[in-house]
Structure 1
Amino acid sequence: MIFTLTACGDKNADSATPEKEKVVFTVPYEKDPGTIDVAKTTEYYGLPLNVFDRLVESVTVGPGESKLVPGLAETWSVSEDGLVYTFNLRKGAKFHNGDEVKAEDVYFTFDRMLNPETEGLNTDFFDMIQGAQARMNGEADTTTGIKIVDDYTIEITLEAPFGPFVAGLATPAGSVYCKKAVEAAGDQFGVDPELTVGSGPFKLTDWVVNDKIVLDTFVDYWGGRAQYDELIYKIVPDAETARMLFENGEIDVFDCDMARSQIPYFEENETWKNNIVSGPRVGVYYICLNESIAPLDNVTVRKALQMGIDRENILKQMYYGKGVLVNGIIPPGLYGYNKDLPEITYDPEKAKSLLAEAGFPDGFDMEITQVSDNASTLKINEIVQSDLAKIGVKLTITQLDSSTFFGIRKTGKLPSYFNNWSADYNDPDNFVYTFFDKENAIGRSFNYVNDAVQSKLDAARVMTNPEERIALYQEIEKTIVQDDAAWIPLFELDHLFVVQPYVKNYTVAWNGWSDQSFYNIVIEK
């Protein structure tokens, strides 16, 4: 999320006049998002990050580095016991309909997410608020832990201290809506441009399904208007088409995540090689081991599998070496990253020795699953299959349709699989608790059970001393990865974008997302 909170233009400047050609920034989007309401989507955050504001923003200060800064809340404070958060709203911040942002809008937005009638998909960013569970269960008509103090002050009380709370509010899920506009729009909020009102630097003005989504610069934005007139999301499902549109100048950015096979072409092309912008995708590619399926319940077997996969080779073959190996759960760039974790070395001979020690001198049969019609995942699984064959493990690859894959996974019965996770917010809780809390470990089919680790996870979530929290998370990480071998970390990737020469100030979001704010972009034609 790349928001700068100093004005970058005349706040009261007029929008583009007919005599002046509009300055437009056009970016590709692989799929029509369907909605920009963050209560209704957990996938498509590009538009919400540009149309809406949050109380607090997470801004990029360097590659893989972020900091929390004021957004709609100019200041905030936390009680000594870590339970009560008081947010003081900036006066004069306006929604696109001209209404001022008030505390009742914040209350309405967060309570709406928890209201069971909304069927909100991002409730996990708010379920630690006092009374949230009762609200979600339909046992209460309001969320008792959210209180409007006055027009510009909102108070939020948690059930228990939760260190990452503010960081969570800085995610797209924390986007603040206009109560009056949402109530008037009904189920068309986030869909109909005329009825979708935010307070962000761009306002939704046109939406041609499966073609383009048009946003105009909001001239009354509290931070100052953006330095161009129009932001267009062009729906381009095909990577080759996107590349041609980019080279023809019809779009202004090519996201190499759309087609990593194009990276060598751009790096060697005299026209483009100096216009590549890169940043780390703060996240981990990993292999899940389902410990409820023998012999993966044997820690020695799991350690053998860790050592039997040539991670460097996968990174080179599949991603042109654009990334770094990761030896834990907390990736480089995330708050709490431990660069001193022992390296997991590729050592097939040692792996075979460990299998023999575990009682499998001739190896064993193992299954790995994936979503069908995913060629890159299949290629990675085939590389892993080849690696494990060298230590005597016969790996069968099973492809399932998406609904079957995720349906089985949440029951805890999905065989092992390759996947990745990128940061939503800058805190180790977003990784360690997400995967290895007991319930989450079942829901993701790890089935990792360690009562001591669970106790430490619960303790880390409520600790208010940041140094002690991080030390405990790093201790937990070492137990899970090094001692229990419950996780096979692979690598963190770089995210590359190629931009037109006239696009200035393009930076990769701190977490490496394709979805980001484009408020700071400058177009110099």
Structure 2
Amino acid sequence: MKNWLKLTVASAAILAASNMAFAGENHGGSIVVTYKDDVSTLDPAIGYDWQNWSMIKSLFGSLLDYKPGTTDLVNDLAESYEISSDGLVYTFKIRHGVKFHNGREMVAGDIKYSLDRVSHPKTLSPGAGFFASIKGFDAVSGGSADKLSGVVVLDDYTIEITLSRPDATFLHVMAMNFASVVPKEAVEEFGEDFGTNPVGTGAYKMTNWTRGQYVIFEANKSYYNSNLPYLDKITFEVGQEPIVALLRLERGEVDIAGDGIPPAKFLAVKNDPKYKDQIVEGDQLHTGYITLNVKMKPFDNILVRKAVAMAVNKQRIIRMINGRAVAANQPLPPLMPGWDENYKGQEFD
């Protein structure tokens, strides 16, 4: 297999790149991806770091997804959907014949269960707030209800989601990992260990996880899209320092250095002609920022907060990381819908 490095892409793009790289070739084969840190969890309601995000995306499906490398929405588990004229009611038609990794067919009730679960405070999902526009969310998050009143199963292949207010981001939320569909019986069987025993509908299924050493994904032969995945097996080796991963990649022992190019080697690798066809470069849906407690002195004073913002030399930070970023002037990154290219933000002074 061809070896790959990365510059500024998130791991989600790395996995997509590995699939795309082999798209024109025969199906089959395997790759090895290295990471420094062990995987924290593969529970889609919990996982929220750049490393496990793409791994979770490979194991689970949601109503919608993104076209690889873009922010364009495409259907995933949903076959189609309709939106009411007031923008409050979304009716999704579900694909027939989609199977969980345990062999059971996924139905609309599984989608409702998954949305109820991710919204419930006992799940401790860092993404619960993304579902705040769904009717009944406040009751669930406040503990007075266990289920979202706005999510109604009309039949096994139709689900209706009613919002309490218009939300232009709602369809994008349905493409997030947090909206992934999980089987109730597997969650109840494994309990808190579901994150290490994931069961989804994705193109891959986890077959082995040896803590501190590796995680193995194998192709889901029952995946609804018979043309995917291309690879038979992905092995994620953990505990690999980036500099060691780079050396192993040069020797052909691994295929993707998941943590990217070590900063000390960045310019040398980027400028070396032999790596030209091995480097995958792209953008992250990520914004780095400093959070200030506005209820604590002196940051309760807006002038102090503005002074802090003016004191951050973003261009210097960009130079320190070898130009692998652009200056943020708003919470949204450039690829995110809603980003305003004309907004100036606070300048360094």
- The TM-score bracket by the shorter chain reads 0.7 to 0.9
Confirm or deny: 8 A CA contact 2:35 2:241 kept in the other structure: no
2:57: which partner in 1?
49
Confirm or deny: 8 A CA contact 2:60 2:201 kept in the other structure: yes
Distance 1:96 1:79 in 2: 34
2:210: which partner in 1?
208
* Alpha-carbon offset, residue 302 of structure 1: 5.6
* Alpha-carbon offset, residue 290 of structure 1: 5.4
SS in 2 for 1:205: strand
SS in 1 for 2:337: coil
Counterpart residue identity of residue 327, structure 2? L
Distance 2:284 2:146 in 1: 40
Distance 1:295 1:72 in 2: 45
Confirm or deny: 8 A CA contact 1:104 1:179 kept in the other structure: no
* Alpha-carbon offset, residue 260 of structure 1: 2.4
1:114: which partner in 2?
119
The 1:152/1:272 distance shift into structure 2, 3 A limit, reads same
* Equivalent of 2:44 in 29, 34, 38: 38
1:273: which partner in 2?
276
1:165: which partner in 2?
170
1:220: which partner in 2?
222
Say whether 1:313 aligns with 2:319: no
* Alpha-carbon offset, residue 271 of structure 1: 2.4
Distance 2:336 2:293 in 1: 26
SS in 1 for 2:67: strand
Confirm or deny: 8 A CA contact 2:116 2:146 kept in the other structure: no
The 1:319/1:147 distance shift into structure 2, 3 A limit, reads same
Confirm or deny: 8 A CA contact 2:35 2:242 kept in the other structure: no
* Equivalent of 1:254 in 252, 257, 260: 257
Distance 1:235 1:190 in 2: 17
The 1:295/1:25 distance shift into structure 2, 3 A limit, reads closer
Confirm or deny: 8 A CA contact 1:96 1:199 kept in the other structure: yes
Confirm or deny: 8 A CA contact 1:38 1:122 kept in the other structure: no
The 1:329/1:143 distance shift into structure 2, 3 A limit, reads closer
Q: In the TM superposition, what are the counterparts of 1:462-501 in structure 2 within 5 Å? A: none
Say whether 1:297 aligns with 2:301: yes
1:178: which partner in 2?
183
Distance 2:343 2:117 in 1: 42
Pairs aligned (count): 326
Counterpart residue identity of residue 66, structure 1? T
The 1:313/1:153 distance shift into structure 2, 3 A limit, reads same
Confirm or deny: 8 A CA contact 1:203 1:217 kept in the other structure: yes
2:3: which partner in 1?
none
* Equivalent of 1:284 in 282, 287, 290: 287
Q: In the TM superposition, what are the counterparts of 1:354-503 in structure 2 within 5 Å? A: none
Counterpart residue identity of residue 210, structure 1? G
The 1:51/1:283 distance shift into structure 2, 3 A limit, reads closer
Asked which structure has the greater CA Rg, the reply is 1
The 1:33/1:305 distance shift into structure 2, 3 A limit, reads closer
Confirm or deny: 8 A CA contact 2:62 2:181 kept in the other structure: yes
Say whether 1:191 aligns with 2:196: yes
2:5: which partner in 1?
none
Gaps of 5+ in 1: 17-21, 352-525
Q: Which has the higher contact order (CA 8 A, sep 6+)?
A: 2
* Alpha-carbon offset, residue 24 of structure 1: 0.8
1:91: which partner in 2?
96
What root-mean-square deviation, in Å, do the aligned CA atoms of Structure 1 and Structure 2 show? 2.9
Cα distance per residue 1:82-137 (max 9 Å; x no partner):
22111110112222222221111111211222344434443212233222232333
2:72: which partner in 1?
67
2:333: which partner in 1?
331
* Alpha-carbon offset, residue 236 of structure 1: 2.8
1:366: which partner in 2?
none
SS in 2 for 1:135: helix
SS in 2 for 1:213: strand
TM-score (normalised: structure 1) = 0.56
SS in 2 for 1:233: strand
1:142: which partner in 2?
147
Distance 1:280 1:214 in 2: 27
The 1:96/1:76 distance shift into structure 2, 3 A limit, reads same
SS in 1 for 2:133: coil
Distance 1:249 1:305 in 2: 47
Cα distance per residue 1:343-377 (max 9 Å; x no partner):
7655xxxx5xxxxxxxxxxxxxxxxxxxxxxxxxx
Cα distance per residue 1:277-323 (max 9 Å; x no partner):
11122333344455553488263x6656555554323211x111233
Distance 2:149 2:248 in 1: 51
Confirm or deny: 8 A CA contact 2:318 2:324 kept in the other structure: yes
Confirm or deny: 8 A CA contact 1:103 1:152 kept in the other structure: yes
The 1:222/1:311 distance shift into structure 2, 3 A limit, reads same
2:31: which partner in 1?
25
Cα distance per residue 1:40-94 (max 9 Å; x no partner):
3333323211110011002234xxx411110000111121222211111011222
* Equivalent of 2:343 in 324, 341, 344: 341
2:7: which partner in 1?
none
Q: Percent identity?
A: 30
* Equivalent of 1:103 in 105, 108, 114: 108
